[in-house]
Homo-oligomer: A and B are copies of this chain.
């Protein structure tokens, strides 16, 4: 059913019907009501593509899905979806199989110029991120999930990675740990750098020398957590604590510790970052896992919200949100063992 036919059946002009449905004031309240009811009854829905053409709005927010870290991504998107439910805005996912953000440039470029989306979300930026530069050059609305150090003014939402790791590390230091390993995210991303900084600052505050060999970078996989933890545990002197970048990483760390016959929370303390997944929770681990916590889903929901504000005209330079991160202590952290033998 087209607008014209629908309007004819109502005995109204297309103009009035369109306005009634659009909620414009110059339509009699009774008429509006009638139109709304009949639209439901007769199943009339405006052709979205016609609307998009004529309004110039795409009614969609774009995200680029990379090969790695999909479990975070799904949770973030799910949060976006939650917020966008009811709005007439879709989420459009663009594929990329590439690992480096530079390779994503053509994708963002296409997304920004093709008119399929009204805004895009940029994930895990680097300090000097090409994608941000590009989108700014194109004058295309975007929100950065994470932070960058670029001069370019832009909207962003980030969690306090630095503070999270600083607190986690400080807590371990307070417990007497000296050799603390950090298994961080991929090198080069701002969030990894922030975590590095939080780690180093905590050491410095407590006057513990920074040993770069205790910090590793890589993707958030169970395997990497295992392999790295395993090799660290073979070193002498042995580390007594781990800070792990994700829930997947920490699965591997737990396994590595156990496989060496060590006890988590006694021989080895562990803190991880928890993005709050419905299917894998730190309190259920054995021993329950001390974690810095920040809901990825909530970040997704808020990001969608901020993008909506951005599209509503709020200046990008005004949209900056830094979320604090909780540190939740459970059983995986304990006093450093007084004597470390190998």
A22 to chain B, nearest CB (A): 16
Task: Give Cα A75 to B95, complex, Å.
Answer: 12
Instruction: Please determine whether B91 and A93 come into contact, CB atoms closer than 8 angstroms.
Output: yes
Number of interface residues of A (CB under 8 A): 60
Assembly of this chain: how many copies? 2
A33 within 8 A of B: no
A68 within 8 A of B: yes
Task: Give Cα A94 to B223, complex, Å.
Answer: 32
Pick from B60, B84, B94: contact of A81, CB under 8 Å:
B94
Given the complex, which residues of B lie within 8 Å of A70, measured CB to CB? 71, 74-75, 78, 278-279
Instruction: Please determine whether B74 and A95 come into contact, CB atoms closer than 8 angstroms.
Output: no
Name A36-93 residues within 8 Å CB distance of B. Answer: 43, 45, 47-50, 52-53, 58-60, 65, 67-71, 73-75, 77-78, 80-82, 84-85, 90-93
Complex A-B: 13 CB contacts under 8 Å = A43-B113, A49-B49, A49-B115, A65-B78, A68-B279, A69-B279, A70-B71, A70-B74, A78-B95, A90-B94, A90-B116, A91-B93, A248-B280
Among all A-B residue pairs, the 7 with the closest Cβ atoms: A81-B95, A74-B74, A70-B74, A49-B52, A221-B279, A91-B93, A49-B53
**18 additional A-B residue pairs with CB within 8 Å, beyond A45-B110, A91-B95:** A48-B114, A49-B53, A65-B81, A69-B279, A70-B278, A71-B277, A73-B74, A78-B95, A85-B96, A91-B92, A92-B93, A93-B93, A219-B279, A220-B279, A222-B284, A248-B280, A251-B251, A258-B286
